[in-house]
Amino acid sequence: MVLSEPGSDSVEGAREFRATHWSVVLAAGDSQSPQSAQALETLCRAYWFPLYAFVRRRGFGAHEAQDLTQSFFAQLLEKKAIRTVNPSKGKFRSFLLAAMQNFLNNEWDKASRLKRGGGAEIFSLDAGPAEERYQLEPVYNETSEKVFERRWAQAVLTQVAERLRDEFASSGHPERFAVLKDFLMGDSGKVSYDDAAQRLELSVSAVTSAIHRMRTRFRDLFRAEIAQTVASPDEVDEEIRHLLIALSD
């Protein structure tokens, strides 16, 4: 895996820590700021699937898990729960899991009585593909928290890969990303450097350089994505360590 360990910031990663989605939400508190609401919805859209997997592993069926997850986000996006978050301990990942656990413990019976589609649907959960993804979970006895952590880490990688793909597309090189993406986490088992060079009509040395630049950019985007889910720059390295452990388990 080519993801860098904490402390190996690039020049870009060391720049000013701008206001991120989660820090904007925390700063707004219980206000009705449109910017805060949009930031929270952006995070929820990106990271709802780990919660769906968590609910499924807790023993709920696919349809019930969809209803519960949708109902949870309907309440969450009202931002009432945000008022209780301590900004000094404000990792979005930790907050979201604790909030869902509380929701299931105290309110799942009420929420589960809602007819499918009868609640406030804030955004589509793509339940069909989500259930297919959940079915790929290991069959051995694994806690719901473990499933959540691994899926969260994978969701971060997905977000980063999509941003990188969009950058390649906007620069006029979508095919280059399609060919080289399998090299992001190490040498590809699907295609060799020679094959990639032939497909892209480049020299092997040019492909090697392109892969190096792509991995560097991927690390920068990975760090930036994690920064979107924590409240301060002091938490970024710790979160990176946590996610790398989750990915390696």
pLDDT of residue 37: 80
Residues 134 and 53 sit within 8 Å (Cβ to Cβ): yes
Q: What is the DSSP letter of 202?
A: -
- Tell me the C-alpha distance between 158 and 204, whole Å: 27
pLDDT band, residue 73 (cuts 50/70/90) = confident
pLDDT band, residue 2 (cuts 50/70/90) = low
- Tell me the C-alpha distance between 158 and 100, whole Å: 22
Q: What is the DSSP letter of 3?
A: P
Pick 80 or 204 by higher pLDDT. 204
- Tell me the C-alpha distance between 188 and 185, whole Å: 8
User: What are the domain boundaries of the chain?
Assistant: 21-248
Residue 1 has pLDDT above 80, yes or no: no
CA nearest neighbour of 107 among 142, 67, 153:
67
Taking the CA atoms of residue 94, residue 247, residue 155 and residue 227 in that order, the dihedral angle to the nearest 10 degrees is: 60
Token pair 């589509």 is found at 124
Give residue-wise pLDDT tens across range 131-160.
Answer: 877 777 666 678 899 989 999 999 999 999
pLDDT band, residue 248 (cuts 50/70/90) = confident
3-state secondary structure of 126: coil
Give residue-wise pLDDT tens across range 5-30.
Answer: 555 444 344 343 456 788 888 776 65
Q: What is the DSSP letter of 235?
A: G
pTM for the structure as a whole: 0.80
C-alpha separations of 179 from 37, 100, 168, 187, 216 in Å? 37, 39, 11, 13, 17
The rounded percent of the chain whose pLDDT value lies above 70 is 76
Per the prediction, the chain carries an average pLDDT of 81
Residue 39 has pLDDT above 80, yes or no: yes
Taking the CA atoms of residue 18, residue 10, residue 222 and residue 172 in that order, the dihedral angle to the nearest 10 degrees is: 100
pLDDT of residue 226: 94
pLDDT of residue 118: 47
Q: What is the DSSP letter of 115?
A: P
- Tell me the C-alpha distance between 46 and 68, whole Å: 17
pLDDT band, residue 52 (cuts 50/70/90) = very high
pLDDT of residue 8: 47
CA nearest neighbour of 134 among 154, 117, 118, 114:
154
pLDDT of residue 90: 73
Token pair 């709920």 is found at 60
Residue 242 has pLDDT above 80, yes or no: yes
pLDDT band, residue 183 (cuts 50/70/90) = very high
